[in-house]
Structure 1
Amino acid sequence: MFLKELTAVPETALPVGALRDHLRLGTGFADAGAQDVALAAYLRAAIAAIEARTAKALLARDYRLRLSGWRGAQLALPLAPVAEVRAVRLIDAVEAEQVVAPARYRLVQDLARPRIAPRGGVLPTIPDGGAVEVDFTAGFGPFWSDLPADLAQAVMLLAAQYYELRHDGAGAVAAMPFGVAALIEPWRTVRVLGGRG
């Protein structure tokens, strides 16, 4: 399995001003925006850490999943929530592509395990030595206000910790802070069945 992020979270979607307020950084100085680049980086790092722990895409963006074979009768997608499946392509051994008609599959939306299911019958056969690629859009929405409040707060707390420990470098604690862990715990997806189904 190979998952690739095709689009990044745009700078305008990051709540840099809210993080600056949360940290109670001074305002009105000539270089007031000088730290915005660093604050955006801490927000991106916090988002990535929380997404890795919850298997949830927080802000909407596009992904490509590539597999060498189906994992059962339905394909569970590795991130949630999934807004849409944009394309499914079969790739043969020489990388020639064949687009699968959307009438052959459907998205089963689920906040824990979204999946692609066949529409009557089975998912199309993957060529020998080939793969399947699935392009999809995942995330709660394009704007910070689309996030559930507890996940937004967890990002803010974790980004603030990254800011506070910015000079510690490698000496920073690797464990997730208790407050952040408590906020994201209800959103964590329990993986069962050895990654299948």
Structure 2
Amino acid sequence: MRAVIIDPPGELFPIADVKAHLRVDGGDDDGYLEGLVAAAAGWIGGPAGWLGRSLGMQTLEVTGRCFDDRGLGVIMLPARPVAEVVAVSYVDTSGVERAIEPEQYRLIGDIGINPVPGFTWPSTADVPEAVRIRYKAGYEAGHIPAPIRLAILMLVGQWYGNREAASNRPQVELPFAVEALLMPFKVLA
């Protein structure tokens, strides 16, 4: 299933926290720092991010050809943690779009949905976006796990201090430290 962001997350943490981490005074670089935070968060989080998780609370939508392409009954939703399923709809074999009522499926932890006992996913038309699931995922403001937050700050610090793509100075492998902080949170499947 393919995921797109419908409503992106807001500010992950105050720019004052970034400036304190970098020991930056004044507001001349605030816009630049906000851009660096957005770039780091985009590289780490969201449906296409390295982590496979949503950082700030956002609304996403996945589409696919059918409900259960793995034969398990469970639909694993990308960019976890899933907080709420907003809507599930599909195009039936007659070509009519239909909604599935919330009572007919349930959220499994914070990773996906499956049908409730006694209900099975319906057959769908053979079209690329026959199934559409809209949901909210991510951490509430102020609740991003500390290692993820620190990884963002470390990337921002690296990029803020090294604004060029190449350097004559010896480089330290910062990405290893960032990866070590993020690995316990990485979605592997």
Check the 8 A contact 2:65/2:126 in 1, yes or no: no
Counterpart amino acid of 2:143? D
Give the whole-Å Cα distance in 1 for the aligned partners of 2:29 and 2:95. 45
In structure 1, the gaps of 5 or more residues are 27-31, 192-197
Give the whole-Å Cα distance in 2 for the aligned partners of 1:16 and 1:96. 47
Residue aligning to 1:125: 123
Residue aligning to 2:16: 17
Residue aligning to 1:188: 186
- CA gap 1:123/1:94 in 2 versus in 1, 3 angstroms: closer
Give the whole-Å Cα distance in 2 for the aligned partners of 1:176 and 1:61. 28
In structure 2, the gaps of 5 or more residues are none
Check the 8 A contact 1:89/1:99 in 2, yes or no: yes
Most deviating of 127-136 and 86-95: 86-95
Give the whole-Å Cα distance in 1 for the aligned partners of 2:42 and 2:184. 18
* 1:100-126 residue CA offsets vs partner (Å, 9 max, x unmatched): 11111111014xxx1110112321222
Please state which structure has a larger fraction of its residues in helix: 1
Give the whole-Å Cα distance in 1 for the aligned partners of 2:75 and 2:174. 30
Question: Are 1:162 and 2:156 counterparts?
Answer: no
How large is the Cα RMSD of the aligned pairs?
Answer: 2.3
SS at structure 1 position matched to 2:3? strand
Residues 30-49 of structure 1 correspond to what in structure 2 (within 5 A)?
32-49=26-43
* 1:126-145 residue CA offsets vs partner (Å, 9 max, x unmatched): 2232511100000011x1x2
Identity between Structure 1 and Structure 2 (%): 29
Give the whole-Å Cα distance in 2 for the aligned partners of 1:107 and 1:37. 38
Check the 8 A contact 2:10/2:57 in 1, yes or no: no
- TM-score of the two chains, using structure 2 as the length reference: 0.84
- CA gap 1:48/1:34 in 2 versus in 1, 3 angstroms: same
1:177 shift after superposition? 1.2
Q: How many correspondences in the alignment? A: 177
Check the 8 A contact 1:88/1:100 in 2, yes or no: yes
Check the 8 A contact 1:105/1:123 in 2, yes or no: no
Check the 8 A contact 2:2/2:63 in 1, yes or no: yes
- TM-score of the two chains, using structure 1 as the length reference: 0.81
